[in-house]
């Protein structure tokens, strides 16, 4: 049995850790490339959202490398993510690829367990006793690694905005993450984090700089994955902007598990703020995007970048309303709609213009 999973930001680091610790064979799909995207685009249609295409491409490439079990997160209504597996299965079958599919249910309840019963039975045959007993430990290691990744990434956001030589932070972050990737035990992870923080700390910084502050909101996949958003976060950082985002793996996992007080309170706060424009919970990140925009505007941020895949259902509503929020509150907003037709220059140019505008605003031009 060879397990595979889609790419999403730094997810491969801790998914790998889980599989490794539990002693399960795995294949990390090749890094998302042009080919991945082309495969995804070829086998779907133009109005399906970009994450679908990239995930599909990841799976096709992983299956070509010999993986046979796909693990995918599930989700509930109303967003399309909940039916990704349903349609992707049909597409992969049509392509003549063979696989076994496991969906991690968004909420652990009886219907979810019943739906996955067949697959679980199959799996039981292949997993050894040792695999199963070490699994909780593996999950713990995975969780720890995920938190460590996020800690490093969050630190990098701060450092990047103040770096003196462009691109140094990115290199340091990659080095730190590679270091973390090597760590096998809980202790080693803690050590790797301290080491990583040291590496990031050694980047030459201009501590006196007051960077612009920009919040990134929008559909979680486009916000979290630098391959999909073409490194918006990094580009902004290298233009001297301190980026904030509230979409992290931990926040989404904790939300779906119903734990993590602070994080949920913050989300609820955003939701409450959005109610003056939206009378109802539209689902996915729509309300949170709008609410966060309002909250960030009030708390003195310089601007907001809204990311969404082309034809994303909840975010389309959000973008219509965000325009209004932005003009009502006088809060600069840049909406980036992403799909497969993308050239490097477009996003860079848009971001440069946006940052220039923010800078003028700060200097007092309106």
Partner 1 sequence: MRRIGIPKALMYYRFFPLWSAFFQGLGFEVVTSDSIGRGLLGRGSIAYFEDSCLPMKLMVAHCLDLAEKVDMLFAPRLISIHRKYIMCPKFRGVPDIVKLATGGQAEVIDEPFDSRLGSNPWGTFSRAIGDRMGLKSREIRAASRVAFRLQAKFERDFPKRINGLSTGDLFHVEVPTPGTISPPGDLNIAFIGHPYNLFDVDVGKDVIGMAKKLGCRIATADSLDGYEIDRRASHLSKEIYWSSGREIVGAALAFLARDDIDGVVFLSSFKCGIDALLQEFLKRTFKAQGGGNVPFLTLSLDEHTTVQGLTTRLEAFADISRERRSRGIR
Residue 157 DSSP SS3: helix
**Share in percent of the chain as helix, strand, coil (round to 5):** 60, 10, 30
* CB of residue 112 to partner 1, shortest distance in Å: 11
Q: Report cis status (omega within 30 of 0) of the bond before 178.
A: no
Residue number, 90 or 204, with CB nearest to partner 1:
90
**Would you call 104 exposed, middle or buried from its count of C-beta atoms within 10 A (0-12, 13-18, 19+)?**
middle
* 350 lines the binding site for partner 1 (CB under 8 A): no
Residue 133 CA to its chain's centroid (Å): 30
Dihedral in degrees, nearest 10, Cα atoms 34, 39, 45, 50: -50
Say how far apart CA 73 and CA 150 lie, in whole Å. Answer: 19
| Per CB under 8 A, 284 contacts partner 1 | yes
Nearer CB in complex with partner 1: 78/226: 78
Instruction: Please state the closest distance from residue 47 (CB atom) to partner 1, in A.
Output: 4
- Residue 76 or 260: the one with the smaller Cβ distance to partner 1 is 76
**C-alpha distances out from residue 333 to 248, 290, 294, 302, 342, Å:** 21, 11, 11, 9, 20
For the four alpha carbons of 139, 55, 2 and 192, in that order, the dihedral sign comes to: negative
Find the shortest distance in angstroms from Cβ 244 to partner 1: 25
Nearest approach, Cβ of residue 31 and partner 1 (Å): 25
**Binding residues for partner 1 restricted to 308-337, rule: CB under 8 A:** 311-314, 316-317, 319-321, 323-324, 337
Residue 356 CB partners (closer than 8 Å, separation 6+) = none
Smallest separation (angstroms) from partner 1 to the CB of 72: 12
| 42 lines the binding site for partner 1 (CB under 8 A) | no
Residues 210-239 that bind partner 1 (CB under 8 A): none
Name the DSSP letter for residue 30: P
Q: How many residues does the chain have?
A: 366
Find residue 102's DSSP bridge partners. Answer: 71
The residue among 309, 271, 263, 311 whose CA lies nearest residue 287 is: 271
Nearer of residues 71 and 157 to partner 1, judged by Cβ: 71
Nearer to partner 1, 147 or 313 (CB): 313
Nearest to partner 1 of 193, 297 (CB atom): 297
Told to check if 279 binds partner 1 by CB under 8 A, we report: yes
> In the window 58-117, what residues touch partner 1 (CB under 8 A)?
76-80, 82-83, 85-87, 89-91, 93-94, 115
Q: Which DSSP letter does residue 277 get?
A: T
Positive or negative torsion for Cα 228, 348, 352, 311: negative
Nearest CB to partner 1, comparing residues 161 and 322: 322
Build a one-symbol-per-residue string for 131-170: x at contacts with partner 1 by CB under 8 A, - elsewhere: ----------------------------------------
Among 34, 45, 125, 258, binds partner 1 (CB under 8 A): 45
Q: Which stretches of the chain bind partner 1, using CB under 8 A?
A: 44-49, 52, 76-80, 82-83, 85-87, 89-91, 93-94, 115, 277-284, 286, 311-314, 316-317, 319-321, 323-324, 337
């Amino acid at each position: 049995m060879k397990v595979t999973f889609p790419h999403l930001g730094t997810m491969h680091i801790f998914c790998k850790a889980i599989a490794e610790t539990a002693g399960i064979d795995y294949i990390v799909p090749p890094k998302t490339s042009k080919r991945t995207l082309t495969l995804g685009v070829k086998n779907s249609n133009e109005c399906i959202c970009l994450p679908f295409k990239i995930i599909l491409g990841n799976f096709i490439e992983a299956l070509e490398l010999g993986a046979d079990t796909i693990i995918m997160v599930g989700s509930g209504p109303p967003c399309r993510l909940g039916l990704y597996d349903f349609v992707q299965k049909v597409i992969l079958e049509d392509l003549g690829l063979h696989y076994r599919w496991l969906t991690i249910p968004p909420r652990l309840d009886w219907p979810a367990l019943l739906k996955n019963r067949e697959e679980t039975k199959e799996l039981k045959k292949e997993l050894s006793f040792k695999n199963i007993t070490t699994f909780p430990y593996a999950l713990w290691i995975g969780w720890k690694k995920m938190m460590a990744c996020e800690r490093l990434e969050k630190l990098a956001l701060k450092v990047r905005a103040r770096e003196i030589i462009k691109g140094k932070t990115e290199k340091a972050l990659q080095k730190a993450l590679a270091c973390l990737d090597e760590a096998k035990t809980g202790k080693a992870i803690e050590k790797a984090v301290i080491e990583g923080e040291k590496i990031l700390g050694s980047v030459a910084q201009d501590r006196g700089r007051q960077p612009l502050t920009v919040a990134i909101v929008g559909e979680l996949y486009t916000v979290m994955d630098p391959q999909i958003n073409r490194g918006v976060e990094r580009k902004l950082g290298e233009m001297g902007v301190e980026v904030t985002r509230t979409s992290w793996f931990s926040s989404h996992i904790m939300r779906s598990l119903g734990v993590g007080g602070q994080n949920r309170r913050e989300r609820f706060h955003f939701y409450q703020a959005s109610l003056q424009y939206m009378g109802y919970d539209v689902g996915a990140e729509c309300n949170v995007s709008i609410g966060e925009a309002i909250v960030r505007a009030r708390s003195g941020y310089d601007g907001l970048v809204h990311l969404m895949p082309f034809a994303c259902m909840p975010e389309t509503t959000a973008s219509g309303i965000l325009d209004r929020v932005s003009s009502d509150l006088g809060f600069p907003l840049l909406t980036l709609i992403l799909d497969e037709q993308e050239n490097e220059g477009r996003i860079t140019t848009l971001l440069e213009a946006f940052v220039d505008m923010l800078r003028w605003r700060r200097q007092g031009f309106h």
